[in-house]
Amino acid sequence: MDRLKYLLESNLFGVCTRIGQKLNFSAATIRKYFIYASFFTLGSPVIIYLILAFWMEVRKTIRNSNHPSVWELE
């Protein structure tokens, strides 16, 4: 059971963990409320979750990029 939990948490983008770190909440608590909100609103928080995951990946890619920015190409 712990292997499954680790596998899921490591592959689900880390959105709840990142929000928990920023707001000083437990990631498990945020996941629980996210699940409750998904049930009550028929899944619309899933769209928000995917948008946040996409945005986090874009930011990580931009930060790790060694290419010069548009402003440095002069």
Q: What are 67's two structure tokens? A: 């290419």
- Does the reported pTM lie above 0.75? no
Sequence ranges of the domains in the chain: 2-66
% of the chain surpassing 90 pLDDT = 0
Q: Report the C-alpha gap between 45 and 50 in whole angstroms.
A: 9
Q: Report the C-alpha gap between 74 and 60 in whole angstroms.
A: 25
% of the chain surpassing 70 pLDDT = 73
Q: Assess contact for 4 and 12: CB atoms under 8 A.
A: no
